[in-house]
Structure 1
Amino acid sequence: MTQAPAPVLPPEAFQRRLLAWHDRHGRHDLPWQHDRSPYRVWVSEIMLQQTQVATVIPYFTRFIARFPDVAALAAAEQDEVLHLWTGLGYYARGRNLHKAAREIVAHHAGELPLDVEALSELPGIGRSTAGAIVAQSSGRRAVILDGNVKRSLARLHAVEGWPGRPAVARRLWALAEHYTPHERLADYTQAMMDFGAILCRRGTPDCASCPFDDVCVAHARGEQRRFPESRPKKALPTRTTRMLLLQDAEGRVLLERRPASGLWGGLWSLPQFDDQAALRAWLDQHAPCSTLAPSWSPFTHVFSHFRLEITPQPARVRRLDSVGEARRWYDPDNPDSLGLAAPVKSLLTSLATFTLTAPDP
C-alpha cells in the first residue's frame, strides 16, 4: 500500500478553515444541539449510525418525548423501545441502547460516564461514538472517526485502501487525532460530520465550495470518487422465506417474537417458514381448521449482507386455543406498541385487501 503524504495543513490552519466554514454553513439547529446533555447526544449518535439526519429527526423527537432520560429508558420494556424504533432499521442499535441504559443505571448511578474508554464498554458504543458523546456534551477533547470523517480525510490525503482494513484505519485515526483541537470541541466535532455530509459527500462531492480544495490530494488528482476505497464486493446471496398471515375470526393476526439475536432480533414478526411444506405442516399441527388463501406475490427486502425474498401466505382460522409464550394475537385496527420489522409492518397495513379477498373457512 502506498503511504499517504504527511498532513497537508498544520492543525491550526485546518481547524481555522473548517470552523469558519461551519460557522457560516454548518447545522446549528438540530434537536440534539439544544440541551446538549450526554443522554440526548448519545441517543442521537446511535440513531445517526448509518442513517441520515433528516430521517433521524422525527424518530429522535418521539423517542426523547417518551424517554426523556436514562432512567425512563432503562425502566421501559424492550417492546416499547423497539416500537419507537420501527422503521429506523438496524434494530440492534435500539436493543443495545436499551441494554446500555440499564447498565448505566445499575453501574453508573444513572449518569453516562464521560470517558471514552468507559463509554466504549457499554453495548452499542464504539470508539468514535464515545468520542462524539464526550466532545459534544462536555467539550472535552475526544477524537471521532465516523463514516463522514473517514471519507473526508481519505480524500484530503488520498489514503489508499479500504478503511475497514486495520492498517488503513490506523492511518485515518492518526490523521483524526492530528487535526482534533483542544478548544471548541463540540463545534469541531459537528463541523467534521457536517462537512462530510454536506460537502465531501459520497458520490459527487461539492469541491467548488470546499475550504480545502487547494490542498486536497484527491481533488488535485481528479480522483475524488476513488477515495475512500470501497470494501471488496461480494455478490449478495438470496434467501427465501414464507411469512404466514394467519387471521382469526376477529381479524387479529398471529405474531411471534424473533430470537434475541439474529435477523430482526427481539422484534415481533409473522411466523416464518423455509418453504410451503413446512408452513402447511405447522398449520396441520397448530391450526388444523385453518384455510389457506392464494399466496401474495413475493417481494425482496435487502439487508447489508443478503437479500431476503418474502412470500406472504394468508390464511384464516376460526380459533387457536393456545399460541404459546412467544406468540400473540395482534389487532391491526387497535395496534399494540410493539417493535415490528419494516416489511412486517408493511404487510399488516395491507390486510384490508386480504380481508376482502380471502375465502372464509
Structure 2
Amino acid sequence: MIPTQSDLRFTLDRKAITPKEQMLFNTFLYDKQWDETVWLILNGILRTSTLYTIPKILRAYYDNLLVGVAYIIECKKPALSFFNNPLASLVNAPQIPMYLWTRNGIMVDSNTNTGFVSEEIDLYSFYQQAIAYLNRRYLYGLVLESSKERPATDYTFSPLCDCGCLKVDAYTPVELVLAKHKNLRKKKRKFENKGGKISSINGALDQETLNKAIHYLSTLRLQIQTPYQDNYVNMARQSSSYEHDNIVHFIASLEGEMVGYHSFVRCQNSMHCLSGAFDRGRKSNYHAYENMILESMRYAHQNNIHTIHYGPILNPTKASLMDTTEDWEMRFYSRFATLRNALKMITPYSKLKPETFTPFRKKPTVVEEEVM
C-alpha cells in the first residue's frame, strides 16, 4: 500500500484507458460489484465533445505505476446551469474552463464515476490528490456527490436534488406494486387503453429509433441544465450505439408510434440509467413514464437485477415512485477562498438555489461553507 501522504503524478487527456490498464482495477470493480462494462460507457464519452465541453480522463501514477483514474468533464460555458440569458451569456463570455466530476454512483448519464484505484492506494487519498491537482490546473470546479461523502479539501456546498433508485427485491413481482398502489393501476390501464406499449431492445438502437430519441432529448424544455448540456445529446447517441447485451432500451409507444425511451446499462446485479426523454409536443403521453418504470422493474425481476438507479429526481412522478433516495450536493472547489465565498453568495439567487429542489427532497437544507 502506498503511504497516504505520498505524492502522485497526474496526467489529463482524452486517451481512453487501455485493456492492459483496465486490469489494474479489476479488484476495485469486483469489490464494488461492477464489471468491465464501465469502461465501455466511460471510454465512450471521450469520443464526444463540443467546442465548449470536453470529457477527459485523469490518470494518477506512483513511481510510474498507474494507480488511479477518473473521468471528468471540462466545461467552458457552465453559466446556464445557474442563470438565464442574457446574464448567462455575459458570465460565459470569457470562456474560463472549469472541471466537473460527478461522483455519485456509476455510469448514470453516461459519465458518473467515483474514480477507480488499484490495490496500492485507497480511494479517498486518490480523491484528495486529484482535486488538489485539478485545483492547480483550473480556476475552479464542481464535484457532484452524496452529502455523506468526505470532502477532499476546503469547499462550499449547496444541496441538489436527490438521486433515486428502486430495490427490486422489495417490490417484486410488479403485480405486488400495482396491488399496493391504486393510482398506478389506473395509470397502467389508461396507458394500455390508449394503445400504449413498452418494449425492450438490447444492444444498439436502429437509426430511426435513435433519431426519434435524440429529437426528444434535443427538444426538452429544461428548468435545470447541466454544465455539459451542449454535449449531452452526443453522449446519449454514443451510449445508444453499442452492440452489447448489457445495454437495454425501453421504448414507449402509443398506437405503434414511439413517444419516449429510457436507456440503461446493466452492471452485474444493477442497472443504471444512461439517458431518457419523452415527446413533450403531444397533448398527453398517458402516463408512459410510470409505465416505463414499471416495465423496467419487471425486466429487472426477470433478469436477476436487484437495484435500478434512475439518477437525479427532478419531477414529482419520479419522486413518488422511488423507494430509496440519496442526498446529492454540489461541492464547489477552488484554491481561492474568494471564489468559494462568491458561489456561497450567488447560489441562493440562482436556478440552483436549494428551494428549487425542496419539493423532491426529504428535508430542506441551506448553502453552507465547510473548512477542514
- Measured against the shorter chain, the TM-score band is under 0.3
Larger RCO of the pair (alpha carbons < 8 Å, separation 6+): 2
Higher helix share: 1
TM superposition score normalised by structure 2: 0.22
TM superposition score normalised by structure 1: 0.23
Higher strand share: 2
